[in-house]
Amino acid sequence: MEIGTQAHTPADDPTGSRARRYRAVDVISHDLGVTGRCDTVELDENAAMTIVEHKATPVRHRPEVTEPMRIQVALLAGALADMGYPVSGQAIYFTNHHTRVDVPLTPADRALARDMVAATARTLAAEQAPPPLEDDRRCSRCSHISVCLPDERPLTLVTRRIVVADPDTQVLHLATPGSRAYVTRGRIEVSKSGEKLGTFPIERVQGVVVHGNVDLSGGLIRELLWRSLSVVWCTSSGRVTGWARAAQGPNGGPRLLQHVASQHGRIDLARQFVATKVANQATLLRRHGDAPTAVTRLRELQREALDSPSLTNLFGIEGDAAARYFAHFLTMLRPKVVATEGLTFSTQTRRPARDPINAALNFLLRSADR
Ligand code: SF4
């Protein structure tokens, strides 16, 4: 996101306009029902306009115009035309590739853009959130997955609109070797060798992750902890080396309640724990394995866990789910690796682990317990 923001910065600054080349031009179309902003609008000698949108596509991707880009320029061109300006062309400028690609529009593009606006309006006005994609690879890379919950939502009726609590706050990752971060006038500033690399309002920061050789000033650490924000230090490859948390942590009360619940027994909590565990098993098996019947049964067990009348019954459900999950565990590993390594797995064995998969599972469980 930050890369896109940086790439857009010149285009978002109206003061960067020159003769026949205007930056950050706001547009509106009552007919289409949209407002927007053109990154750049160029005028030719007849005062006809060409819209140029800036995109920060990663260099490893080809600078290709996608359908969403076509829709965007179609809407911007439609809005400019509605405002009475002649539009002679559209283009996408790929900032990382320094490449400009013209985007001639067809009537089909304009019709699609209009349809998309209508569909978006229907979605916004709907009482219910749209259904998530089903078993779609795009979800694993989607930044909304923790809010959208595409695997979990089909299991339960969504009774409220799902919105991000505070879309403006972010975890700040500092990853430029040799840089230094400090706080000044309510902003976190990052600089290296006298060059300012970035500046962020501290109230928009949820936490800071430091990757590798980046210095944090004492003042910044104090300010973050005073605001109960955590700092995590990692190696440049992402291994966590340590963290700092405010002394006044929120964990004391919940820990106390946890011990009281453990003393008295709480089947309502136990039901939730087991149902969630079974849900995760079903999700993992569905995403990575090949056992649709087992997944269906795991989903049933998940629901049964929530209605379980006793702890004994709950343990039975948990054991049944574990047996089904591990019976298909091998289907989640790459067949080529299973074949070349001669891997086998039938059941979990703890001490001693009887095969390489159990050894790996035990090692990971012990690591997670620490
Ligand atoms: S996780 Fe992202 S891509 Fe998947 S359904 Fe939700 S919003 Fe769409």
User: Using one digit for the tens of pLDDT, what is the confidence trace for 162-212?
Assistant: 555 566 668 899 988 899 999 998 899 999 988 888 888 898 898 999 999
How far does residue 144's CA lie from ligand 1's centre (Å)?
A: 6
What mean pLDDT comes out for the span 126-148? 78
6 lies in the same domain as 108: yes
Same domain? 292 vs 308: yes
Number of domains in the chain: 4
The separation between the first and the last C-alpha atoms of the chain, rounded to the nearest angstrom, is: 34
Question: Which of 137, 145, 147 to probe ligand 1 with, by most ligand atoms within 8 A of CB?
Answer: 145
Q: Is 300 within a domain? A: yes
- Cα separation, 346 vs 340, in Å, equals 18
Looking at the structure, tell me whether residues 50 and 76 fall in a common domain.
yes
Give the residue numbers spanning the domain of 9.
Answer: 2-119
Would residue 21 count as lying in a domain?
A: yes
- Assign 1 a pLDDT band (cuts: 50, 70, 90): very low
Residue 124 lies in a domain: no
Is 338 a member of any domain? yes
Q: How far is the CA of 163 from the centre of ligand 1 (A)?
A: 13
Question: Residue 47: is its pLDDT beyond 80?
Answer: yes
Using a 6 Å cutoff on CB, does residue 225 contact ligand 1? no
Distance of CA 75 to the CA centre of its chain: 27
pTM for the full predicted model? 0.44
Domain end residue (candidates: 244, 272, 293): 244
Do residues 86 and 136 both lie within one domain? no
Which atom of ligand 1 approaches the CA of 148 most closely?
A: 6
Is the beta carbon of 151 within 6 A of some atom in ligand 1?
Answer: no
Question: What's the confidence (pLDDT) of residue 15?
Answer: 60
* Shared-domain flag, residues 304 and 364: yes
Ligand 1 midpoint to CA 117 (Å): 19
Other CB atoms within 10 Å distance of the CB of residue 103: 19
User: Both 259 and 361 in a single domain?
Assistant: yes
Residues 37 and 104 in one domain: yes
Same domain for 240 and 326, yes or no, is no
Give yes or no: residues 294 and 323 share one domain. yes
For position 177, which CATH number holds? Answer: 3.100.10.20
The DSSP result for 53-108, as a single string, is EEE---TTS-----HHHHHHHHHHHHHHHHTT--EEEEEEEETTTTEEEE----HH
- In angstroms, rounded to a whole number, what is the distance separating the alpha carbons of residues 332 and 281? 11
Atom of ligand 1 nearest to the CA of 136: 4
| pLDDT at position 9 | 56
